[in-house]
Structure 1
Amino acid sequence: MGYRILADATMVVHFAFLAWVVFGGFLAWRRPWAIWPHLLTAVWGFSTVLFGFNCPLTWVEDRAREQAGSAGLERGFIDTYLTGIIYPERYAGLMQALVAVVVAVSWAGAAYRWRVRAQRPELS
């Protein structure tokens, strides 16, 4: 039962990580420090998709499921839980491009807000 809980908890953390990769840059609009952790996680997230790097969260979930007596993940996390379920498999490339656009917009918006904030005269 412990491995099943670990597998499910890892899945939840993985979904949270993906949400952070997609939307975390918007936090930097209000909290400029947030751009650095978002930059690191976005680079990692995109590299797992573009270059096929193995994600440690996928590995942990897969091993925990196997130890719990279930079948491990046959494919990666995104292919298992999103592709074919949230969006049709034929739109996988489009979804990747959409995520890249959302991240780019969040970074551009953050840069714009930082510039506007820097040009504002200090209030006494």
Structure 2
Amino acid sequence: MLYRIAADGLVLFHLLFILFVLFGGLLVLKWPRLMWLQLPAAAWGFAVEVLHLICPLTYWENLMRHAAGQTEYAGGFIEHYIWPIIYPAGLTPGIQMVLGSVVLAVNLLVYGRLIRSWKQRRASRIAL
């Protein structure tokens, strides 16, 4: 029972991490120091998609499912609603390249805006 709860919690954490990879740059606009967490997370998300790496969270979740005696996903809430978002049916290497490119593009736009903002502030301080 505890292993199943841990595995379900890990799937939820996995989803939150994916959201942080995709949209964490927007948080950096509000809290710039968060970039020290978000940049490595975005780089990891990009690498996982483009290089087809296996995320250790998936590996750990499968270990916990095995320890819980589960061999397949039963119809729980986490598996039914969250799992298909993380690993949609029909996920191909081409789709993964697109997803990796989206991660890269979103973060380049956000960090470009952040850097431009820093330069403008610096220029206005120098002008004074």
CA distance in 1, matches of 2:40, 2:59: 20
Q: State the partner residue of 1:63.
A: 63
What residue in structure 2 maps to residue 37 of structure 1? 37
Shift of the alpha carbon at 1:95? 2.9
Give 1:10-21 correspondences, 5 Å limit: 10-21=10-21
With over 3 angstroms needed to count, the CA separation of the structure-2 counterparts of 1:41 and 1:114, relative to structure 1, is same
The aligned residue for residue 24 of structure 2 is 24
Residue of structure 1 equivalent to 2:87: 82
- Aligned pair partner of 1:106 in 86, 110, 124: 110
The normalised TM-score by structure 2 is 0.73
| More deviation, 16-25/104-113 | 104-113
1:49-106 per-position Cα deviation (integer Å, ceiling 9, x unaligned): 2223332211111111111122268xxxx8883323xxx6467133332222112111
Query: How much does 1:48 deviate?
Result: 1.9
Distance 1:19 1:9, change over 3 A: same
The count of corresponding residues between Structure 1 and Structure 2 is 115
AA in 1 matched with 2:109: V
Match of 2:100 among 74, 78, 96: 96
Q: Distance in 2 between matches of 1:89 and 1:82?
A: 7
Query: Structure 2 vs 1, CA of residues 55 and 40 (structure 1 numbering), >3 Å: closer, same or farther?
Result: same
Identical residues among aligned pairs (%): 28
In proportion to residue count, which structure has more helix?
Answer: 2
Tell me the TM-score normalised to structure 1 length.
0.76
**Structure 1 residue runs of 4+, over 6 Å off?**
none
Gaps of 5+ in 2: 74-82
